[in-house]
């Protein structure tokens, strides 16, 4: 089985590797192992102080965030304008804010519903 290692924070690199793996599979040549190298931007849980990383490592990880990197790439390619990107960002932020508001203002479910829609 072939294996490929890719920068998991580079959207286009991941796309290219995945596209090749899919084409290979569709030709009947089997599976491809894809290792997407990335980093954790937040701890393993809320309140994780991330003492296992230096401040420089955490800062470097944030610089490699795939979302702003891809936004910049799309603008450079001319596939997206900055005003359109800003509008998309604002619409997404508004949607998240509304979802958080709905969740925090909603009543807790009844205790007997704890296993509703849970499958194992």
The catalytic site residues sit at 40, 44, 52
Q: Tokens 């230096």: give the residue.
A: 54
CA 83 to chain centroid, in Å, comes to 23
Q: Which helix (H) or strand (E) holds 69?
A: helix 66-77
Q: Token digits for 68?
A: 């702003």
Q: How many CA atoms lie within 13 A of 105 on its CB side?
A: 6
> Taking a C-beta distance cutoff of 8 angstroms, is the pair 6, 34 a contact?
yes
> Taking a C-beta distance cutoff of 8 angstroms, is the pair 71, 85 a contact?
yes
Q: How many CA atoms lie within 13 A of 95 on its CB side?
A: 6
């Amino acid at each position: 089985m072939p294996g490929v290692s890719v920068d998991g924070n580079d959207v286009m690199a991941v796309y290219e590797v995945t596209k090749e793996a899919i084409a290979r599979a569709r030709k009947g040549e089997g599976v491809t192992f894809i290792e997407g190298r990335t980093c954790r931007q937040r701890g393993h849980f809320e309140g994780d102080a991330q003492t296992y990383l230096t401040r420089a490592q955490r800062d470097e990880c944030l610089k490699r965030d795939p979302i702003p990197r891809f936004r910049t790439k799309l603008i450079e390619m001319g596939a997206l304008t900055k005003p359109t990107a800003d509008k998309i960002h604002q619409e997404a932020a508004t949607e998240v804010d509304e979802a958080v508001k709905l969740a925090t203002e909603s009543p807790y479910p009844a205790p007997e519903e704890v296993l509703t829609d849970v499958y194992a």
